[in-house]
Chain A
């Protein structure tokens, strides 16, 4: 069964510093996708970044990068140069296989950026 673990219920980071949000996953399927989403206090959901299991390079999207360590089954989100607007809940998710598969979400990490 798929499983996503986010061990940090809450994190604090100083503005302009980098922060890493941890995510580990469990799957026996060699083909899977990993996703990160952001949910600010206003409630909307924002898709941040995607990493495929066969991708050779770590995914990056602006200030977001995914530190993908396949052997360790970890997919940590790195946010560089934190901004106050980065304060939010962050969810890691996985989808096994290709089409037709379920998404499984982690419990989330609440990030607070301090001025």
Chain B
């Protein structure tokens, strides 16, 4: 158990809908990362927050948004869902925001868009 929690574990929804994925980092970790893993596109980095502020942006679509709240939990909002958004979404946390900081991953949320 990494100490990072993600909810829900599974999510099934329809095209055009909007969903919210939640991540609680390990106690004391200030940085949160979001990744998407799909069969088509492999692993992709979406976005990183550090202590409530956006630190880095990757291949995140405009239909997707994220935020990190004062209690350091983070949410990833996916809207106007398409079939291609079906993927495993990982959250990870680290103490700081630096490259050398070990990232601890949550178990992931498996999103299925029908």
Mark A residues whose CB is within 8 Å of B. 33, 35, 43-47, 50, 52, 91, 93, 95, 98-105, 107-108
Q: Do most interface residues of chain A lie in helix, strand or loop, or is the interface mixed?
A: strand
Q: Which residue of B lies closest to A46 (CB)?
A: B105
Beta-carbon nearest neighbor of B102 in chain A: A47
Which of B17-25, B37-45, B63-71 is near enough to bind chain A?
A: B37-45
By the criterion CB–CB under 8 Å, are B108 and A45 in contact? yes
Cβ-defined partner of B105 (8 Å) among A45, A50, A101, A102: A45
> What separation, in Å, do the CA atoms of A95 and B35 have in the docked complex?
14
Would you call B95 an interface residue if the criterion is a C-beta within 8 Å of the partner chain's C-beta atoms? no
Residues of B within 8 A of A47 (CB): 92, 102-105
Main secondary structure of the interface of B (DSSP, over half): strand
The chain B residue sitting closest to A49, CB to CB, is B102
Q: Does B88 contact A (CB under 8 A)?
A: yes
Q: Is the CB of A105 within 8 A of B42?
A: yes
Q: How many residues of B contact A (CB 8 A)?
A: 24
Contact B105 A44 (CB under 8 A): yes
Determine how close the nearest CB of chain B comes to the CB of A47; give it in whole angstroms.
5
Q: When each residue 28-61 of chain B gets 1 if its CB lies under 8 Å from chain A and 0 otherwise, what string results?
A: 0000000100000011110000000001111100
- 0 or 1 for each of B75-114: is its CB under 8 Å from A? (1 = yes): 0000000000000101010000111101111011000000
Interface, chain B (partner A; CB < 8 A): 2, 35, 42-45, 55-59, 88, 90, 92, 97-100, 102-105, 107-108
Contact B100 A33 (CB under 8 A): yes
CB-based contact A103/B100 at 8 Å: no
Among A43, A52, A100, A103, which residue has its beta carbon within 8 angstroms of that of B45?
A: A103
Q: Is the CB–CB distance between B108 and A33 below 8 Å?
A: no
The answer to whether A98 and B99 have CB atoms under 8 Å apart is yes
A105–B99 contact, CB under 8 A? no
A-B contact pairs, 20 of them (CB 8 A): A45-B92, A47-B92, A47-B102, A47-B104, A47-B105, A50-B99, A52-B99, A52-B100, A99-B55, A99-B56, A99-B97, A100-B57, A102-B56, A102-B57, A102-B59, A103-B45, A103-B58, A104-B45, A105-B42, A108-B43
